[in-house]
């Protein structure tokens, strides 16, 4: 009986990382894909452009601009969050 409990325990321990990994790879929703397309268009990508000669370069350039903007916004939000968390932010309520 003790070996059965140990076997179940080890199986659960080995299966836990697989279950958490499977949950992180969910497909995007239609709204998420639409939001990404809007971001790319705002970064200069034009999906209606019929020129296939510039396709990979155009979308890659727009993706890099979006990534650069997102990393800048994240670092700014992180800095703002750290100042307000430390009590240096405003305490006025709206």
Mean pLDDT across the stretch 61-67?
93
Q: What are phi and psi of 53, to 5 degrees?
A: -70, -25
pLDDT per position as a tens digit, 24-41: 678 999 999 999 999 999
Q: Are 40 and 63 in contact, with CB atoms under 8 Å apart? A: yes
Dist. CA 89–CA 83, nearest whole Å: 6
Give which of 63, 66, 92 is closest to 55, Cα–Cα: 63
The pLDDT of residue 14? 61
pTM of structure: 0.51
């Amino acid at each position: 009986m003790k070996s059965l409990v140990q076997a179940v325990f080890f199986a659960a321990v080995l299966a836990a990382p697989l279950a958490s990994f499977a949950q992180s790879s969910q497909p995007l929703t239609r709204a998420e894909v639409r939001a990404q397309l809007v971001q790319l268009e705002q970064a200069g990508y034009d999906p209606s452009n019929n020129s296939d000669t510039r396709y990979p370069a155009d979308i890659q350039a727009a993706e890099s601009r979006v990534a650069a903007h997102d990393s800048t916004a994240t670092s700014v939000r992180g800095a703002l969050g750290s100042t307000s968390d430390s009590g240096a932010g405003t305490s006025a309520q709206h």
